[in-house]
């Protein structure tokens, strides 16, 4: 799997591959395309007669709605490369992008006209109906677009960048060189993560990479930034408006139908992202191409980046600045190097050699131009670089008509005592124009060579292994590297600081039981050139046993180091047993209490008996091997009742350990017939608590996996005492809603962008009689919201929170009702559940739980939710939510034996009701109405609450 998900950087060193791409789409705000086009000077270009006529822009995206009035004359070719069945835009992203680049604005009378309305669009659907696509699909679309004669290709898509050249980056660079096509590519929307948050393929050398600014040319918080991974190069190249953009909507698409998407006019929607900035640049390139038909990618990129208007952001955030197409149209001089990257000078710097690069200017005009040259460079802290760090070879250069002229630029990284990236601009001014070129040189922080050699069990170089290195303190924090599956020594350059090194050595990667060694070094200090030799021979076996069972069926092992500059750092394994598995701790002891370890194992004794044990807590060193022979007197016993009201079912039971330090297992899901009882023996040492979860299972699906017909789980884990036996019962009556502090009905604050306010029902309707919350399938579900007695809306969400209701901010009386029915093949009880919640609500400042209540019933039924027919039954009644405890005003319970046709009130005395159990195979219906002291009322009605036997 690691091979499938990564690319090889060099023998033995791998990084995450691009794999799957996705559209870059951020939030939504009020917007205006007419304003953004004038912001980049497109209106002035139109006045000069340039609208992109004769130019083809390829939009490789989710498709384009060619029936939209703004685009029906624009799309001249389309093809589907995605896994979706056709080229229709069901997301709405590609339509919006195409409209920004080349929409005519016909539907809005020209108000929402794109940057190049005279250009034509080639639509390649490379992202599917959910907005995702593979590298191969996108590459096929890129090849097709170039073959179709596209002059400009818009790629408003991406995925995280790595240090190597990935397939999409290679294709951008290759097609640019072969065809002269300009690729305008989004920088991505991961700017919130700070430096080096650029996306691929915007990281390609040849790409004109686009960040986003708002209407005031302030960098958007989401805009991806450099430096580029691997070499520290400047990206993005330019910015463009990407906040508050309105453009064409694809009717019925995902974005169009999102309730939080503003629609400034019929047929238009408003969203933001670098996806929206990029087509502004693609359109601008089309305007330039119309004026200069012979220009290719180099000239277009050079003119657009060189003439950009600088903002207040850093070089790595904005490149040369915000595109200004009216100035670009006047450019006759361009820099052949949009950016000059001097690379990284290795630490220490006293012996660094000055590096010389040449900035070359090309004059595309008919008159020689003399340029005045200047520089502006800052250090990593944003202060002016020390004198002499960068030096221009001349202060003026004359570029002959139709020719080139260059000037030397020298970077001397010996100067100064600050390490990191020094970046800025060379600005050439003359002939009524200005050309900006970005420059960057990096003084490596204090760093050293780390050599890794991994040794197998027989003392030879391991063939199947991984080493994963994570920086946790000092200059190392945030650094990571992986070395795997290449025998021998591997040297990597790493910053000074503390690391965690995790090593796995396999005898057979496809069979961990053939022999696997986990060598963990939670603290590795690098303060000089260092050699580390993870050695499988240092590992010792892990041996956990329980009475009467030799081999574990499943196991989980992990550790966590909590006190690091990178937060909690750890590692772990999920195993199908412990056969052949060994562990070793390497490195110094960690004595400040921040290191914890976790060991768990699950055993099957027979068809209805299992063991679950877990141990761990704070430690100074991780286990080099681990032996735990659990004795019977260390265990607690759980008799877990597995309810099922329909015969012939099976159920899965998972025991999930939770340690005092927060470490928790994933659990293990053995199955047995249901209804039935499962015996579970659990460990009690080290303060472990256990959370039990149960799932009723149905027939297997096409992949052989059983359908989940219902599930219940504890709300909180429980602590058990050794030597004691406990009873836990799941999925028995009365199945109904269960309220908790995390579930109920909620009111949200106004959405920060759309202002929308919501009432959300998020209440599990299939909790069991023991109070475990639960859910399952329904044959029907209807949820309705009323405001002051008037129906607001209705949907089919069974209070799972998936379909909230939009409400206004005024104070009003609301009633939320839900009715669900369950399939007879799944359950014979609680076949229909109706709830109603009445409350007042108005605008809130933050998400607030509304005052709703619920009533639960816990009759003494068997595991099939049946009780002896005709006999009196005492049923405990509990009130949950707002009306619980001293806030209860009234509680009324009624019963019905004819499916709810007639009801009889029954008093609640000392928290119970006394009713007669129904006839054999017949059901009883229960209804409860509860009101709190503030007047908020709730009601629940449950058909076939239990059956007679």
Q: What CATH number should be reported for the domain holding residue 314?
A: 3.40.50.200
Residue 938: which of 838, 789, 816, 788 has the closest Cα?
838
Same domain, 540 and 614: yes
What φ, ψ does residue 232 adopt, rounded to 5°?
70, 15
Which whole number is the average pLDDT over 311-324? 95
Q: Are 787 and 793 in contact (CB under 8 A)?
A: no
**pLDDT higher at 225 or 22:** 225
In a domain, 889, yes or no: yes
Residue 877: which of 906, 861, 855, 907 has the closest Cα?
855
Structure confidence by residue, pLDDT tens digits, 417-465 = 999 999 999 999 999 999 999 999 999 999 999 999 999 999 999 999 9
pLDDT confidence band for 604 (50 / 70 / 90) = very high
Q: State both tokens at 580.
A: 């052949």
Q: Which residues contact 366 (CB under 8 A, 6 or more apart)?
A: 401, 402
53 has a pLDDT exceeding 60: yes
- Helices 93-102, 274-291: inter-axial angle, 10-degree rounding: 30
Q: What CATH number should be reported for the domain holding residue 424?
A: 2.60.40.10
Q: Which residues contact 187 (CB under 8 A, 6 or more apart)?
A: 158, 198, 199, 202, 209, 210, 211, 212, 223, 224, 225, 235, 236, 274, 277
29 has a pLDDT exceeding 50: no
Same domain, 493 and 642: yes
Which whole number is the average pLDDT over 873-886? 97
In a domain, 458, yes or no: no
Give the strand pairing for 832-841 and 812-821.
Answer: antiparallel
* Domain final position from 730, 763, 789: 730
Q: How far apart are CA 288 and CA 280, in angstroms?
A: 13
Which residues constitute the domain of residue 86? 12-24+32-331
Q: Which residues contact 353 (CB under 8 A, 6 or more apart)?
A: none
Percent pLDDT > 70 in the chain is 96
Which whole number is the average pLDDT over 559-587? 92
pLDDT confidence band for 5 (50 / 70 / 90) = very low
In a domain, 663, yes or no: yes
**Catalytic annotation present for 93:** yes
Q: State both tokens at 876.
A: 């405990």
pLDDT confidence band for 177 (50 / 70 / 90) = very high
pTM: 0.81
Return the biggest CA–CA distance within the chain: 107
**Catalytic annotation present for 882:** no
Same domain, 930 and 874: yes
**Catalytic annotation present for 258:** no
Same domain, 161 and 84: yes
pLDDT at 699: 83
What φ, ψ does residue 242 adopt, rounded to 5°?
-140, 5
* Domain final position from 427, 443, 459: 443
Same domain, 512 and 398: no
Residue with tokens 């899901």: 669
pLDDT at 35: 87
In a domain, 739, yes or no: no
In a domain, 459, yes or no: no
Q: Residue 31 CB: number of other CB atoms within 10 A?
A: 23
361 has a pLDDT exceeding 90: yes
Q: How far apart are CA 150 and CA 148, in angstroms?
A: 6
Q: State both tokens at 523.
A: 């603290």
Beta strands in 292-368 (DSSP E): 333-335, 339-345, 355-363
pLDDT at 766: 97
- For the chain, the average pLDDT equals 93
Q: Per DSSP, what are the bridge partners of residue 7?
A: 15
- Helices 167-179, 135-147: inter-axial angle, 10-degree rounding: 10
Same domain, 138 and 279: yes
Structure confidence by residue, pLDDT tens digits, 760-787 = 999 999 999 999 999 999 999 999 999 9
Helices then strands, each counted (H, E), the chain: 11, 62
Structure confidence by residue, pLDDT tens digits, 833-867 = 999 999 999 999 999 999 999 999 999 999 999 99
Q: How far apart are CA 201 and CA 419, in angstroms?
A: 28
Same domain, 921 and 849: yes
In a domain, 448, yes or no: no
Residue 394: which of 413, 417, 377, 371 has the closest Cα?
371
Same domain, 683 and 773: no
Same domain, 523 and 652: yes
Q: How far apart are CA 194 and CA 162, in angstroms?
A: 15
Same domain, 91 and 196: yes
Which whole number is the average pLDDT over 896-905? 96
pLDDT at 230: 81
Which whole number is the average pLDDT over 368-381? 95
In a domain, 6, yes or no: no
* Domain final position from 331, 350, 372: 331
Which whole number is the average pLDDT over 668-673? 93
553 has a pLDDT exceeding 80: yes
Percent pLDDT > 90 in the chain is 88
Q: Check 93, 96, 490, 772 and give the catalytic one.
A: 93
Residue 769: which of 937, 948, 929, 926 has the closest Cα?
926
Same domain, 344 and 319: no
In a domain, 230, yes or no: yes
Planar angle of CA 126, 127, 132, nearest 5 degrees: 140
Q: Check 275, 332, 558, 830 and give the catalytic one.
A: 275
Structure confidence by residue, pLDDT tens digits, 481-520 = 888 888 999 999 999 999 999 999 999 999 999 999 999 9
Q: Are 16 and 6 in contact (CB under 8 A)?
A: yes
Same domain, 425 and 476: no
Q: Are 561 and 585 in contact (CB under 8 A)?
A: no
pLDDT at 33: 61
Q: Per DSSP, what are the bridge partners of residue 782?
A: 819
Q: Check 26, 32, 51, 61 and give the catalytic one.
A: 61
- Count how many domains the chain has: 4
**Distance between first and last Cα of the chain:** 53
């Amino acid at each position: 799997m690691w091979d499938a998900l990564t690319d090889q950087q060099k023998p033995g060193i791998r990084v995450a591959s691009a794999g799957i791409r996705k559209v870059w789409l951020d939030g939504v705000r009020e917007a205006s395309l007419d304003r953004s086009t004038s912001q980049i000077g497109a209106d002035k270009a139109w006045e000069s007669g340039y609208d992109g006529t004769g130019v083809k822009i390829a939009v490789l995206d989710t498709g384009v709605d060619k029936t939209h009035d703004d685009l029906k004359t624009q799309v001249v070719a389309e093809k589907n490369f995605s896994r979706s069945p056709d080229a229709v835009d069901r997301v709405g992203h590609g339509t919006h992008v195409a409209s920004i680049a080349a929409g005519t604005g016909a539907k809005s009378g020209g108000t929402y006209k794109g940057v190049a309305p005279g250009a034509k669009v080639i639509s390649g659907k490379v992202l599917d109906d959910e907005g995702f696509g593979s590298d191969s699909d996108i590459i096929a679309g890129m090849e097709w677009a170039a073959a179709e004669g596209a002059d400009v290709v818009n790629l408003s898509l991406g995925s995280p960048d790595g240090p190597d050249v990935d397939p999409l980056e290679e294709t951008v660079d290759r097609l640019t060189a072969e065809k002269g096509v300009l690729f305008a590519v989004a920088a991505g929307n991961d700017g919130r993560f700070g430096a080096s948050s650029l996306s691929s393929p915007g990281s390609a050398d040849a790409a004109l990479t686009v960040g986003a600014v708002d209407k005031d040319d302030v960098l958007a918080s989401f805009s991806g930034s450099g430096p580029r991974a691997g070499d520290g190069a400047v990206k993005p190249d330019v910015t463009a408006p990407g906040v508050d953009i309105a453009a064409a909507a694809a009717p019925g698409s995902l974005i169009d139908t999102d309730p939080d998407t503003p629609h400034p006019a019929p047929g238009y929607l408003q969203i933001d992202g670098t996806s929206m900035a990029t087509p502004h640049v693609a359109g601008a390139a089309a305007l330039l191409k119309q004026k200069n038909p012979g220009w290719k990618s180099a000239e277009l990129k050079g003119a657009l980046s060189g003439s950009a208007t600088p903002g207040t952001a850093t070089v790595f955030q904005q490149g040369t600045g915000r595109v200004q197409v009216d100035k670009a149209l006047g450019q006759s001089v361009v820099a052949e190097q949009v950016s000059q990257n001097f690379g990284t000078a290795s630490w220490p710097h006293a012996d660094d050699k000055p590096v010389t690069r040449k900035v070359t200017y090309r004059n595309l005009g008919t008159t020689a131009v003399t340029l005045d040259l200047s520089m502006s460079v800052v250090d990593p802290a944003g202060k002016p670089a020390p004198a002499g760090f960068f030096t221009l070879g001349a202060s003026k250069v004359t570029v002959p008509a139709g020719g080139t002229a260059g000037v030397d630029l020298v970077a001397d990284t010996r100067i100064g005592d600050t390490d990191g990236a020094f970046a800025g601009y060379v600005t050439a001014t003359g002939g009524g124009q200005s050309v900006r070129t970005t420059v960057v040189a990096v003084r490596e922080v204090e760093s050293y060579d780390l050599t890794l050699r991994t040794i197998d069990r027989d003392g030879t170089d391991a063939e199947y292994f991984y080493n994963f290195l994570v920086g946790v303190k000092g200059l190392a924090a945030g650094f990571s590297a992986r070395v795997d599956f290449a025998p021998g020594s591997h040297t990597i350059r790493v910053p000074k600081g503390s690391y965690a090194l995790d090593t796995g050595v396999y005898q057979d990667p496809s069979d961990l039981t053939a022999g696997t060694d986990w060598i963990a070094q939670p603290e590795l200090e690098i303060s000089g050139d260092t050699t580390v030799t993870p050695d499988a021979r240092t590992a010792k076996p892990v041996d956990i046993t329980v009475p009467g069972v030799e081999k574990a069926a499943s196991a989980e092992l992990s550790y966590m180091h909590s006190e690091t500059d990178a937060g909690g750092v750890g590692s772990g394994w999920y195993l199908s047993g412990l056969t052949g598995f060994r562990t070793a701790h390497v490195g110094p002891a960690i004595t400040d209490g921040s290191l914890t370890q976790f060991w768990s194992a699950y055993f099957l004794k027979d068809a209805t008996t299992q063991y679950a044990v877990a141990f761990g807590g704070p430690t100074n060193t991780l286990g080099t091997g681990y032996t735990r022979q659990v004795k019977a007197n260390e265990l607690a016993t759980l008799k877990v009742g597995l309810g099922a009201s329909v015969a012939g079912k099976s159920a899965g039971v998972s025991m999930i350990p939770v340690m005092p330090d927060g470490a928790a297992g994933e659990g293990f899901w053995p199955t047995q017939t249901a209804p039935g009882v499962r015996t579970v023996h659990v460990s009690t040492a080290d303060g472990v608590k256990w959370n039990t979860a149960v799932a009723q299972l149905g027939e297997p699906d096409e992949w052989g996996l059983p359908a989940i017909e219902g599930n219940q789980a504890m709300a909180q884990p429980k602590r058990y005492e050794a030597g004691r036996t406990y009873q836990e019962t799941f999925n028995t009556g009365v199945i109904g809603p269960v309220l908790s502090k995390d579930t109920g009905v909620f009111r949200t604050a106004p959405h920060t962008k759309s202002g929308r306010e919501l009432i959300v029902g998020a209440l599990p309707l299939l909790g069991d009689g023991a109070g475990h919350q639960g859910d399952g399938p329904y044959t029907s579900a209807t949820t309705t919201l009323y405001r002051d007695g008037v129906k607001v809306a209705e949907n089919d969400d069974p209070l799972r929170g998936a379909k909230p209701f939009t409400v206004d901010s005024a104070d009003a009386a609301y009633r939320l009702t839900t009715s669900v029915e369950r399939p007879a093949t799944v359950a014979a009880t609680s076949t229909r559940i109706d709830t109603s919640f009445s409350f007042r609500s108005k605008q809130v400042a933050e998400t607030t739980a509304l005052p709703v209540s619920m009533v639960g019933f816990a009759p003494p039924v068997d595991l099939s939710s049946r009780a002896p027919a005709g006999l009196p039954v005492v049923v405990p009644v509990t009130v949950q939510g707002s009306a619980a405890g001293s806030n209860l005003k009234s509680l009324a319970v009624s019963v019905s034996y004819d499916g709810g046709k007639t009801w009889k009130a029954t008093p609640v005395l000392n928290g119970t009701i006394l009713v007669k159990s129904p006839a054999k195979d017949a059901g009883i219906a229960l209804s409860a109405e509860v009101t709190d002291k503030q007047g908020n009322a709730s009601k629940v009605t449950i058909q076939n609450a239990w059956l007679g036997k």
